[in-house]
Amino acid sequence: MILLSTFVLLISIIFFFADRRDKKEFLKFDRSAIDGRIIENSIDQGASVISVGNHKYLFVPIFVDNKPDFLLFAEKGDSIFKPARADTLRLIHHGKTYLYTFEKF
């Protein structure tokens, strides 16, 4: 019983700190005005991590108008634009503009 209780407590602590990290990273993304080219695009636990200039941003993109999955579609060199606190991100990929919203924490 003690082992089970310890395990549950440990899992709860892990989720608590992971949630805090995700929220902190989302707030950084949400408050930032992003205007530039993607230097790097990777996936971290289902979220997209992009590097634009000297900054890394973590967010969970949601499709708009059945556009392709951002995590697999965005490439190095694509342009990305998002005003601070905006709810939509514009991705320019091979001359076409794609709009994405994102999950808020």
**Residue range of the domain that includes 62:** 2-102
Total domain count, the chain: 1
> Other CB atoms closer than 10 Å to residue 67's CB: what's the count?
17
Q: How far apart are CA 30 and CA 48, in angstroms?
A: 14
What pLDDT sits at residue 56? Answer: 92
pLDDT grade for 46, boundaries at 50, 70 and 90: confident
Q: pLDDT digits over 77-92, tens only?
A: 999 999 999 988 999 9
For residues 30 and 23, the model is more confident at 30
pTM here is: 0.74
What pLDDT sits at residue 14? Answer: 54
pLDDT grade for 39, boundaries at 50, 70 and 90: very high
State the burial class of residue 86 (Cβ atoms within 10 Å of its Cβ: 0-12, 13-18, 19+): middle
Q: Is the dihedral of CA 56, 62, 67, 68 positive or negative?
A: positive
